[in-house]
Chain A
């Protein structure tokens, strides 16, 4: 317990985490509140105000797009969608990776060898192409996007959890549980999973930016979030088409996307330093 408390203290004292975390919380707050206070909504088109540059007149803080829709509201909606997709997709990869890794590590022996060989095989593949294939073959819906993005990112998690489980398996409390006849599933859920949480949280912060990346990549290509819904990737795509006359359409969502990704990466990097004692020494 004191080890966790010590780590938590180091997390709170870490300046990189504080600044990046503060920026992220700020962005999320603005993304949630902004659309509520703006006089516009994300669907409303205004053909007398097409490609209006950012200004306070008419309250188009981020300008308007080629259909006269207010980009302030659309961009903030895009931030919301991007972050929600990333969180849900990361949870999918978390659940899948933790279960797979725990089962492989706990079973050990030949089962472990086969399961990890499968992970190694998948590692060698350009996964994103399979995600695209999936998006082509099936109707594009939110659920599929979550699953597809989650499917990309579970490999690292599975490997890390397996390593942890291998060492947990030898510990007395797990062996005691086995001896008293606790079932395999119950050991995985009650004894293994709670004990790998710490490492998992650290890697989750690195999974979230990867999920954001995949989602915005798909949306940029027109294979992810569909109109009139939007995400930062879709907004960047729209911005590319209008960049010669209306550079704000590209630059604002591009900068926001980069900012969010950077904050998550900085936090993940710093957390890894805090929790990985080998590195911090």
Chain B
């Protein structure tokens, strides 16, 4: 088990290196530097700026400096937020995004598995068809359409929930953003759960359990749920990536000062180091979370390890 985990961890290192090199090259191959804007600066000032940010050194040297910093957790200074390092900005903004993402993930898994299981138990009934039609719709509608429509309905029209982040307190302000983020994932997970639950319910061991007189509830809870969850578990990687991506627009729509908002602002302001740092941070997060999912998968399904 430990051996498997360590092997997978080693396997993640080339992936991360590829990410860093790609991201670094993309930013540094860009035509024009980060500081040539509308204002034209005298050449000696430009040279001074370049020197201060080590932009005058050869690319390989800059990369080594960046990597050395990275290993110490230092992502360099932000080009736009003066007096802040990129690491500080990420450290201050990430907890909020993490809270939001975790909440959305919880909604997605609990509701998705619940709805999918109910649909599978009443396969081809009217309820099943309605649920699956909703799921197909939910998959098709992007987060940045769902979120403002929910705001319009529940905040602007009905006044049940706060529309924005500032000016409200407590858990209520997390509710609309988290639900917007979770909805497409609920739809996807419901479809996955339904399909795999139908397969599992048709298998021999479920028939045996039924023959022994076990009720449907007990069969689902003690026998069918665990094997039926495997496809859902392997979907967790893409789900995490989708929630991170969705978080960028949701934070923008609700005005949540999380990492996604910094990312968009950085992108619009051409704050190269900030954007580069956040991309590397996100990619590392996704790769590590995928790793954890894989390891969890092998804990639940020991057949994987023997391959």
Contact = CB atoms under 8 A, between A and B. Distances in A.
Interface of A: 121, 124-126, 128-130, 132-139, 209, 213, 216-217, 220-223, 233, 236-237, 239-240, 243-244, 247, 250-251, 254, 257-258, 261-262, 265-266, 269
A249 B294 CA distance: 44
A126 B248 CA distance: 12
Interface string B3-44: 000000000001100110011001101110000000000000
Contact of A221 (B19, B244, B252, B272): B252
Which of B149, B272, B287 counts the most A-chain CB atoms under 10 A from its CB? B149
The A interface, classified by DSSP as helix, strand, loop or mixed, is helix
B140 A265 contact: yes
Given A137-B27, A233-B144, A250-B148, A125 B156 contact: no
Contacts of A244: 156
Closest 9 CB pairs of A and B: A137-B30, A262-B140, A261-B140, A126-B241, A254-B145, A240-B148, A258-B141, A136-B267, A265-B140
B156 A243 contact: yes
A24 to B, nearest CB: 13
Contact of B264 (A139, A209, A221, A239): A221
A236 B26 CA distance: 29
Contacts of A130: 22-23, 26, 279
A125 B136 contact: no
B227 interface: no
B140 A124 contact: no
A216 B268 CA distance: 16
Contact of A133 (B23, B144, B148): B23
Interface in B128-159: 136-137, 139-142, 144-145, 148-149, 151-152, 156
Nearest to A134: B26
A8 B287 CA distance: 42
A257 B15 CA distance: 35
Contacts of A133: 23, 26-27, 267, 275-276, 279
B282 to A, nearest CB: 5
Contacts of A128: 245
Nearest to A262: B140
A250 B264 CA distance: 21
Given A129-B282, A133-B23, A221 B140 contact: no
Interface string B226-248: 00000000000100010011001
Interface residues of B, number: 48
B185 interface: no
20 contacts: A124-B286, A124-B290, A126-B244, A126-B245, A126-B283, A129-B263, A130-B26, A132-B263, A133-B23, A136-B267, A139-B31, A217-B245, A221-B248, A223-B268, A233-B144, A247-B156, A250-B148, A254-B149, A258-B137, A262-B136
Contact of B149 (A124, A250, A262): A250
Nearest to B12: A124
The B interface, classified by DSSP as helix, strand, loop or mixed, is helix
A137 B142 contact: no
B295 interface: no
Contacts of B136: 262, 265-266, 269
B13 to A, nearest CB: 11
Contacts of A257: 142, 145
Given A243-B152, A261-B141, 14 more contacts: A125-B15, A126-B241, A126-B245, A128-B245, A130-B26, A137-B30, A217-B144, A221-B249, A236-B144, A236-B148, A254-B149, A257-B142, A258-B141, A261-B140
Contact of A132 (B237, B252, B267): B267
A160 to B, nearest CB: 17
B245 A125 contact: no
Contacts of A265: 136, 139-140
B111 interface: no
Given A124-B286, A124-B290, A126-B282, A240 B140 contact: no
Contact of A254 (B26, B148, B241, B253): B148
A130 B252 CA distance: 19
A145 B234 CA distance: 31
Contacts of B140: 209, 258, 261-262, 265
Which of A125, A244, A266 counts the most B-chain CB atoms under 10 A from its CB? A125
B145 A243 contact: no
B270 interface: yes
Contact of A223 (B139, B267, B282, B286): B267
A237 B27 CA distance: 27
Nearest to B266: A136
Interface in B90-143: 136-137, 139-142
